[in-house]
Every structure is written in C-alpha cells, then in structure tokens.
Amino acid sequence: MLALGVRYLNGFVAARPHPSEPVEWPPHPGRVFMALAAAHFQTGMEPAEREALQWLQGDREPRRAPAIRASEEARRAVVEHFVPVNDEAIWKKKDEKKKPPPPLQSAPGIIRTRQARTLARAWLDDDTVYLAWQDADPPENIRLALEALCAKVTRIGHSSSLVQMWVAEPDEVGEPNWVPDDDHAAIHLRVAGPGTVEDLERRYNGKAVEAFAALQVAASDDSSRTAQKAARKRLRDEFQNLQPTQLRPDISFYQGYARPTPPGDVSVAPGTVFSPHVIVLTLEPKESPYRQLDLLCVLTVAQRWREALLSHSNDLPERVRHAVSGHDRDGAPLSEPHLAFVPLAFVGHPHADGHLLAMAIALPDGLASDQRRDVLRTIGRVHELKLGRLGVWRVQRDTRARPPWNLRPEAWTADPEGATHWSTVTPVAFDRHPKAKNRAEHQREVAGMIAAACESIGLPKPNQVIVTAVSAHLGVPPAHAFPRLQRKDDSERRHAHAILVFERPVRGPILLGAGRYRGYGLCRPISGPERDDKVTQ
C-alpha cells in the first residue's frame, strides 16, 4: 500500500475549484497531485520525480483512485472583503512636469481602488488527512522520489493553506471514510489519470516563460548591440513581444466516492426504486428575511431547485436531462423513476419544530455509473437558490463524517436493516380524486391508493395503512397546513398523512403519491435501534 499524509499546519483548509463554489473538502486527490506536480516544476524538474508522478497517475498500469481518511470540518461563512491593490497614479497634462508625490494612499493625485475578494475556509476537527492507494506497491526508487517531492510541498490550495506532506506508514493511516465507488457515489472528486503530468506541464509553460524572461533581459542590455538586436528579433519572431500564457492548472478526471459499505454479513432489507445513497445538501440563508425554512416550503424549494438543475445541464446528454426533469423530449412524464427531492427536517424529537435542515436528492436505484456521474456534476453546479419572497439561499454538500441524526440518510431510509413501521413527514398527494360517499369508504379508498403507491415504487403491499390528518412524527404540521399540489388544469389534489405497517422490514427512501418527486409523500421510520449518538437536529 502507498499512503500520503497531509497535515494542515494552520488547522484550516482554504481551497475551492471555482470562486463561486464552497470550500473543497475532503481534498480532491487531483489537487494533491497538482501540488506534487507544482513542486516538481518549480524545483528543477528532476527526472526521478517525473517518473514517480507518471507512476502515480497510472502510466504503467491502471491505478485505482485512493481511499481517503478525512475528519469533519466546520465551514466558516464566506465573507466579502475589499482588498487594496497597487497604487494607481492619475495625472493631468499640466502636471506632467511636476515632481510626483510619494506613493501614499492619502497623497494628492493618487488613488487606490479596492477589489472585492471572497475567502472560503473550513476549520478541521483533525488537521491530518490520508490518501491511501491500497492496491499500490511502488518500487523503492519511486517511493524515495515521492518522499522527496512531498518534502517540497508547502501548500495545497490557497497560499494560506500551508501543509506538511509525507509518505505515511500503513499503520498510521487507519480506516478510510471515503472510498472510490461510482455506483453509490455521494460526491465526485478530481483525480489524476494517464497524461496528467504532461497536460499540467503544457499549462505551466515554464520553458517558454523562462526563455521570454531571458530574452527580455538580453534585449534591455545595451553592452552588446549585436546580442541586443538578436534578442529583440527573437522576441518579435517567437513571441510577438507578448508574454507567454500560463493557464490555470486543471484536472478533468472525476471519480465517485461513497462512505464504506457495511460488512457483508449485515442483512439488507428490500428497498424501493430509489437508491438509499441519497445526496444531502444543506440550505443556509444568504439574503433572506428568514433564518430557516419549514416543511410548508417544500414544493417551492423543490420546484426552484429543479429549474436550477435544468439550467445547468444544457451541455449534458439528453438522457441526463430527462433524469433531472422527469420528462422526455416531447414534455411527457417519464414512465421510469427519475431524480426526486427528499426534505430532511427537524422532526421526531420532543422539541422538534419541523424546520427544514436540508434537502436530499434521491436518484433511481441502478442508474448507470456514467449517468449518475453526470447528474451529480449537475447537482454540484448549483450553489444558491433564488426563492422569491423567501430570499436567496446557499446550497452546500454535507460531507461530515458524523452529521446530526436528522441529516443522516439512515435516519430516513433505515438502510440497511429496514423498518416495519413508517409514517409520513409530508402528506401523500392522491393520484386521483376519491369517489367514496361516506367517511369509512373514503378511508378505505385512500388507504387502497396509498397501498398501491407502495407497490408502484417496488415495496410489498403493506399489511396496514392508517390514513390520518396528523403525522406520527413530532414536529410535523398537520396535512391541511401543507399547500396542495396543482394539476395541469389548475385544480388541486387532495392529500393526507398516513402510517404504514409492513409484514417485514423495508428500507427507503419511501416517497409515495403524485408529488413523490417534489418532496411530498416522504415517509420516515417511526422507531428504530437506539443510538447513543442521537442528537436533537
């Protein structure tokens, strides 16, 4: 096994792929590779180091992406600062012969503009991260070259993100909490692949930059007119007197990562057409009159989120857009499952108030790896939601190793053991208008529709369906308080809460009824195994 250790010396990470994106955590293996490559380019480009990088990127044989052991992080709010830049002098023609004042900000004729900068940081519970290539066994010369390269790395990400890096011993790494897994991926991280070093070298363009600088020096040296003339000619002919471009380093290879799967002897209950490996995204107010949203906002949030996803998927294959929108090219609803929104709220606790903690996204179980990767890439492009009178809200991926109980997928899916008793957190919208005349028949008809909805998403028919106006979970509003789902003819669908009892345990996510893709009909286990680490939110 090959393992690399990275210690963040300031106790925080400052890195993000794009200025509009949140802080990057856990660190992308590709970013760590780029730090190694930068150390190689800037310190003489030793051939042994280049060989080690090519070995690490898999030029000799396919290289599986590394497993990662990274602690939780506490993200600091992104604050906009106005940073002073270089002094800029403004002179009028009549002042050209005057002696300029000293370059002080307060001096006449001098202005200093300020440019907005946003700084994103995350404080780490543990300042050390490990990347482990568990199937790799490098030769001694490769290991020694990697040790030399690691010793040269001083930062990963922003210049304030100072690090110490080394080749770690296997016994210090511990168990990873993120493993390569495209089928159940919750996040996608950039990784190095064959040809990465060569591509980074082209972007760095170091030889051309050095040659241009040397010619500039020679062109300004009038001690030898012949050499000066030759240098100016080369600057004109080879560079057109323009500084060679250096492109921002980038890696376009992505690998899906998921939490480690449970041991093989754990029994797995039957599930639904939705994958239990949901993607949890938290919502934080950016410009809003409200500190938090509640379950009654679910339809609005889901609709705006779906629109945002579609606006960011124009460059993706048509089948991916269909999986996001739930409609085919003609606008007709898809017959197969597609992306669904799962509202995660503070419920099921004596002090629960039903406020919305996050929105999870459930994808169809069995979705092809390449389609899942494209959908997750689309999800990662949406960083904020504009919710009208509700304001603007930031969207962030929750990657904490031990998030609060109500943000853990297993709290909502009972994965993998399952549960027999479930109750709705958002009401089930009826597929059709009940036709029963009296209350008893109405209850039976609605119970039959909900039982059929269970079967339509792959669950066995429940032994009992109890239709009720209130949820069995504390903190959930009554059914009549939720906005009704609109039909195409502007009529409204009726809805109700329900309690489901199955003969044997089943696992979620369970989303039922006409609004199941927009957050309605969400069920949560009523009871489950007691956990010492359960918290209130």
Establish whether the linkage from the previous residue to 285 is cis, with ω within 30° of 0: no
pLDDT surpasses 50 at 224 = yes
pLDDT tens for 150-168 read 999 999 988 888 999 999 9
Selected residue with higher pLDDT from 254 and 424: 424
pLDDT tens for 180-209 read 887 777 777 888 888 888 888 887 777 777
pLDDT given for residue 43 in this prediction: 87
Beta pairing, strands 355-362 & 464-468: unpaired
Tell me, what DSSP letter sits at residue 273? S
pLDDT surpasses 60 at 107 = no
Question: For residue 347, what are the CA distances in angstroms to 53, 165, 421, 499?
Answer: 50, 43, 16, 15
Q: Where are the beta strands (DSSP E) in 57-152?
A: 67-69, 73-75, 79-84, 88-89, 110-111, 114-119, 122-124, 128-133
Mean pLDDT of the chain: 82
* Of the candidate ranges 164-173, 215-224, 269-278, 471-480, the one whose mean pLDDT is the lowest: 215-224
One-letter amino acid identity for 438?
N
pLDDT given for residue 18 in this prediction: 62
CA gap 157, 34 in Å, rounded: 10
pLDDT surpasses 70 at 76 = no
pLDDT given for residue 80 in this prediction: 59
Q: Is pTM, for the whole model, over 0.75?
A: no
pLDDT surpasses 80 at 117 = no
**What residue ranges do the domains of the chain occupy?**
2-77+120-202+249-258, 206-239, 279-525
pLDDT given for residue 151 in this prediction: 93
pLDDT above 70: percentage of residues in the chain: 85
State both tokens at 270: 């039957």
Is CATH 3.90.550 the classification given to domain 2-77+120-202+249-258? no
Query: Residue 103: which pLDDT band, with cuts at 50, 70 and 90?
Result: very low
Question: For residue 84, what are the CA distances in angstroms to 81, 105, 235, 272, 406?
Answer: 10, 10, 34, 56, 44
For residues 240-253, average pLDDT: 74
